[in-house]
Amino acid sequence: MGKNTLPVVADRPDKMIDLCFKNPAVSESEKKTTDLCHDPHTAKNDENVERGNWSSKTDYLLSMVGYAVGLGNVWRFPYLAYKNGGGAFLIPYTIMLALAGLPLFFLECSFGQFTSQGPVSVWKAVPILQGVGITMVIVSTFVAIYYNCIIAYSIYYLFASFQSPLPWSDCYDWSDKNCSKFPNDLCNVTSEVGRFIVVNTTWLSNKNETCPKQNVIPVPVQNPSEQYWDKVALRRSSGLDETGEVVWHLALCLLLSWIIVGAALYKGIKSSGKVVYFTATFPYVVLLILLVRGATLEGAGEGIEYYIGTQSNFSKLAEAEVWKDAATQIFYSLSTAWGGLMALSSYNKFHNNCYSDSIIVCVTNCGTSVFAGFAVFSVLGHIAHVSKKPVSEVAQSAQMLVFNETLKTYRHQASRTLIRHPWLRCSSFGLAFIAYPEALSKLPVSPLWSVLFFVMLLTLGLDSQFAIMETITTTLQDEFKFLKSKRIYVTFIACILLFLLGLPCVTRAGIYWVNLIDHFCAGWIILIAAVLELIGIGYIYGGNRFIKDIEMMIGEKNWYFWLWWRACWYIISPLVLIAILIWSLITFTSPSYGSVVYPDWGTSIGWCMTAFCLSWIPIIALVKTVKAKGSLWQRIRTVCSPTADWGPYLECHRGDRYIHQQCAWDQNLKKLRETKVSVIINDYNTQL
């Protein structure tokens, strides 16, 4: 054989790699120094040896659950449930899961798994909409910058929890004169001699008397937990105009969070798939512990009864606001249209049952929301019992922190329309970093519960960040093939760059930047992407063709099995998302943080970020059309038709439907045959 080419090896690249792994004549040192033999994000038993596959089904499911389950499952859903009729809210919530959440979730998982490509390359199916994939990745990049800052906040509070008493449990030397653990309202009363006098409401309470609401004179105060958040954790400035210095304890926490993310992803899904065994399951352990502890507290039953008990108000189902809240919560909580579902699913084996996976993840996500509500409201019930207030007032008071970031007395809070912050899955940081830490500080052994709570927040955030970064690195490697063997470098460089870009978010004005990016990048841009995704696959690519693609993976199904999915993909889901989009645009307001209004230049930057994210959709469509050949109509038909290399990634999966398509393997194989790679087969030095 000597220097002759070995045709049988050039049959498929995985056979050549298999020779490297299995041939006893190749030493371990040679395997490690040969790129083809040593690729840290693939394994020799992977079906797709170029991109790699999940090590097990459990790795994938836990990663998907960790990506979907977030802070909104713990905070946002329980609030929406009690606000919209208690247990009655489960009816529109379940219906919207079936109409909008699950159909889009199943579509994206199938789309990514079928072609084994990330959120940009999958649009070879509809080239004119490839800009939608780019928009998803850019939005994910913006979110990755500030989302790790939220994780940094959790890390800081975690370290601060190793103190007794907790530093936010009282007004210590860092507080000002407005700090108080109790309301300082005044009351205008009539004395015994008929004169009007002003007294403190606390004095009236000590005398077992109450002040009529019309006689209350509000005196603004701040709770210790809120002042600790503003003055110690954030060192918050007066506004976006006052940037101030870098808050170094947050910068170090941000660096630590990026080190954790980089270490977890250094081998891609092979390493992150193992980390999620802890990060995806630990929140459930904490929720269970908090539920058990909360259920043993006095008054817990009152909180649970208020949350989802006999006080359910079914008349609420007649209100449009209830259905809007259900649809919005479902859409954002499942993390659809961000690109992450397609990126994670692209590493599945071709015949993986993505249908059952979608059911499992969506049901788990919604079940987590309901379960978390019991833990939250059992504690709120105890607080109501101790403070001798109705649960409704305690819950409303906690939610007002989310809206205003100001812990004034609940009686004087002005009602505001709910503005969503979808990626955080919580309308702001009040509940996570002010209200619930305050509640935990009142429990026995409060540092223990605080540590558990912030570890839970940390793991909830890391799961999502893993998927965001995987979306970014997967896209880079799919679009730039020379990066495939350099995953470790791509991951580390991306982490370093995003850490540097995130430094403005840990200055004294950092919270304003975090809120600004979230306000403009993580809202209705994703709704536009989702609507275009449904139109592109359902109407341009063809819903029936897409169903045939899915059947190539999971097997043929009866026509009535697809009846519901056709109805959702063609009509119901697009209409629901368009309705949410219109509502979001109508109720859109300029960004603000509590009482701090953003300057005009800050709002302009926000609109520039929005334009930058969305502009790729028309730009790519125009470029594709201009590059196409023929008349205008022929060009439009070309860019609305799949490219020549669209289809399953591996030749063995293309079957009769895609037998004439040129897949990625063919292109790589051509390059491979032109590359001289020396391997040792038995005692021969063979040139491929």
User: What residues are designated binding site?
Assistant: 66, 68-69, 73, 333, 365, 460, 463-464
How many CB atoms neighbour CB 362 within 10 A? Answer: 22
In angstroms, the CA 383 to CA 394 distance is 7
Residue carrying the six token digits 């693939």: 42
Residue carrying the six token digits 């959709």: 617
Please count the CA atoms within 13 angstroms of the CA of 195 that sit on its side-chain side. 4
Side chain identity at residue 515, one-letter code: N
Those residues whose C-beta lies under 8 Å from the C-beta of residue 678, and which sit 6 or more positions away, are 685, 686, 687, 688
How many CB atoms neighbour CB 162 within 10 A? Answer: 10
CB 105 within 8 A of CB 358: yes
Q: How far is CA 18 from CA 46, 115, 484, in A?
A: 11, 23, 18
Which of these, 515, 490, 492, 495, lies nearest to 504 by C-alpha position? Answer: 515
**Residues contributing to the annotated binding site for Na(+):** 66, 68-69, 73, 333, 365, 460, 463-464
Beta bridge partners of 596: 593
Cα-based angle 508, 231, 407 (whole degrees, multiple of 5): 115
Render 346-412 in DSSP notation, one character per residue: TTS-TT--HHHHHHHHHHHHHHHHHHHHHHHHHHHHHHHHHHT--HHHHHHHHHHHHHHS----GGG
SS3 sequence, 641-661?
CCCCCCCCCCHHHCCCCCCCC
CB 370 within 8 A of CB 77: yes
